[in-house]
Amino acid sequence: MTPGRLSRLHLGAFTATIMTANVFFQIMPNQRIVVADLKPGRVPDARYGRIAKLRSTHNNYLTLPVVFPMLSNHYPLAFATEHAWIIAALIFLTGVTIRHYFNTLHRTGAGPHWTWAVTVLIMVLIAWLSTFSGTGSLEAAEARALSPQDRRHVEAPGFEDAYLAVIGNCSMCHARTPAWEGIWQAAKAVYLETEADVARHATQIYLQAGLSRAMPPPNAFPMPDEARAAITAWIRGVRGES
């Protein structure tokens, strides 16, 4: 599973945990205190109700955003981009604006229409971010100097074979101008064209195409075992493993 998709699961689990904790540690205990006072006829302390209401309001505003991480794994535009974290934050904002409209509508009978304008603007921004790529040209990437870390990968034994394996099996999709029909932007802005590109994404290549067969997608074309072996041997050489 890619880091973008995994982060969505973590975000959803974290948000749901907050909502559950609000109920379990705040709303329900305070309700029990109030009920315990009401049964014998005592006047309950209003602060317990205010605390429970505040936590309930928090959960109310999180009900829409928490759905997003649950569904986003099915939509690469939500996670397969370098701006995925910004998109997630903006989605949470849209949940707040939409809930604010309905909360105000139910309380006063008239919802603030400015919230819909803000929501539409945020969604337009999300759509733009999901397809925006700040990549430069291939020529600029080739002229860029290698970092010390990248140089260590490039100079490691087996790099040439691994590089050819990546170029022959990955770069048609992971290019600044993809050659694969139907793909017009590399997923997550991961480019695998130059030596620096391959060195920079060495760990991802190793995990996705060396240790596992997650990439290339199985329904695209089979990657030869020799190519996967070349990638694995290269990374193990970098790490000094036998």
Integer angstrom CA distances of residue 167 from 44, 193, 194, 210: 71, 7, 9, 14
Which residues fall within 8 angstroms of residue 216, CB to CB, at 6 or more apart? 169, 170, 173, 209, 223
pLDDT at 87 over 60: yes
Query: CA 13, CA 87: separation in Å to the nearest integer?
Result: 17
pLDDT in tens, 203-219: 999 999 999 999 998 88
Residue pair 16/38 in contact by the 8 Å Cβ criterion = no
- Mean pLDDT of the 145-150 span: 90
pLDDT in tens, 30-41: 999 999 999 999
Instruction: Check residue 183 and give its pLDDT.
Output: 84
pLDDT at 1 over 60: no
pLDDT at 2 over 60: no
- Secondary structure letter of residue 207 according to DSSP: I
pLDDT at 242 over 70: no
- Residue 212, token pair as written in the block: 């596992």
Residue 60 parent element (H or E):
helix 46-62
Backbone dihedral angles phi then psi of residue 135, each to the nearest 5 degrees: -70, 150
